[in-house]
Amino acid sequence: MSVTKEIFPLPQSVSKMTRKQRICIVGGGFGGLYTALRLHELPTEAEVKPEITLIDKGDRFLFSLLLFS
């Protein structure tokens, strides 16, 4: 049994098929950004597609090494 199920048990009336999956990615660097983009592109059905949330301390992605070019 997973830790999530032990801490936050689902009510008996909620089935797995009706509960939407959520993915939270912490960190908006190259790894976090490309992970979120790749997960969004995965072929899944519309009603099964997970909700993807990317959390970062900045509000935009900036690759500062390209600023000098």
Backbone angles phi and psi of 23, in degrees to 5: -120, 125
Q: What is the pLDDT of residues 25-57, one digit of tens each?
A: 999 888 998 999 999 888 877 777 888 999 998
The CA distances from residue 42 to 10, 30, 59, 65, 69, in Å, are: 27, 18, 25, 30, 34
Q: How many Cβ atoms sit within 10 Å of the Cβ of residue 56?
A: 14
Q: Where are the domains of the chain?
A: 20-58
pTM here is 0.60
